Amino acid sequence: MKHLKYFNQLNEGHITLTPEEHKSVERAVKKMSQLLSVKRSWLFKLKGLQLPGGQDKDFEYIKNIIDSGSSDIVYVDSIDYVTATGLKSKVGIYIVLIDRFKGLYLPGNKSDSQDNIILINQEYSKELRTILMHELIHAKDPKLNQLFTDKFKKNAFKKSYYKRRFEFEAFSGQLLNVISNSTYKFIKEGWSSKELKDIFDDILEHFKDTKQDFINSFEKQNPDFMKTITNEIEGLPSYFVDIDYSKIPGIDKFGDRTKLKPDTLMFLNREWDKNKKISSETNIEDLSKVANDNFVSRTDKLKEINSDYSEFLKDLYKEIKKQVDFVNSKKEEEKIELNYKTMSDWMNSCKNVSFMSRKSKSRD
């Protein structure tokens, strides 16, 4: 009964980091970068860890390695944070060599909110900020780390990666954090109001795109064809299966709606070594790949299996509107407005994405 007060917060919306948590992420990233540059040759001799599987077993296994003083795990920093239900917590951050994961959040003893672990795979040293931000959002999610969610969690990890509700929270919350962080950084770098407006509008246009509805409809009508364009890698979990959507007949007509502009890709890619502008030397393919891996393609996949995607769209509009107001407060030049001036206009344009796919699913 004592946990019932948290029940409604299972749908707590999209989790974002506080300013203090952002500062802690930057501090930890700096420490990790220093470790990986100064002691790189030593770190690459880390023994690869094989997790036993299951959150409780994984946590106990890693905790024992830490307590033993093993050189196969490297302590970086700890971060104080607050969960979405207001619980003050702490998490330790460690560098390891581990199969399959870029990063991993492991909740510890449920009676001790200070006992949590984030693992960062040292093979992904170019994505430290992105990985750490993602895992810290997991740590803030009460569905993963509080007693009252045990019933929810019972079958959660039996689902494929993109069907896990907490992955939706992490990817969508991560995107909202990047929008906020990058707006502040781009203003400091001297980007104009109009340039930022174009980026905001491009993001909104992308996330109301109906490409995924078309793909889902095609998959249902052509299951045998879809099997022929699926590359299954033996021994890896289902979420590593790669589908080449570009081979679907008719998908090309969506290309002009789904291809983000270079400036938007730079804006979304927190790991890119940004110059003032996209230059002729910039590798747009690399830039696009990182942004798509981290936010775009993953959120597209998540939206079709999460009932609160329309709530995410509202949060996305609110976040971008907040950043427009921030730009207007900082820039002396002409004030800007989004192409969609109100949330009602925006949501009306998103109806197909928000509801059509789930209605069709409900009839299956």
pLDDT in tens, 203-248: 998 887 666 667 777 888 888 888 777 765 555 555 455 677 778 8
Q: Is the pLDDT of residue 7 over 70?
A: no
Residue 50 or 67, more confident: 67
* CA-based R_g, the chain, Å: 21
* CA distances from residue 16 to 171, 229, 237, 297 in whole angstroms, order as listed: 10, 36, 28, 20
CA distance 214 to 258: 13
Nearest CA-CA partner of 132 in 51, 36, 24: 24
For residue 67, how many C-alpha atoms fall within 13 Å in the half-sphere facing its CB?
Answer: 7
* CA 259 from centroid of its chain's CA atoms: 19
Answer with the residue of higher pLDDT: 217 or 32. Answer: 32
Query: Residue 224 has what pLDDT?
Result: 83
Whole-number pLDDT of residue 311: 79
E strand segments, 197-354: 230-231, 242-243
Q: For 83-218, where are the E strands, in sequence order? A: 88-96, 103-107, 116-121
For residue 8, name the pLDDT band (cuts at 50, 70, 90): very low
Amino acid (1-letter code) at residue 342:
T
Query: Does residue 170 register a pLDDT over 60?
Result: yes
| Residue among 122, 106, 141, 161 nearest 297 (CA) | 161
| pLDDT digit string, tens, across residues 111-127 | 667 789 999 998 888 78
- State the pTM of this model: 0.75
d(CA 63, CA 69): 10
- pLDDT tier, 42 (very low <50, low <70, confident <90, very high otherwise): low
Instruction: Look up residue 198 and give its DSSP letter.
Output: H
Identify the residue with better confidence: 305 or 245: 245
Every domain of the chain and the residues it spans: 10-158, 161-362
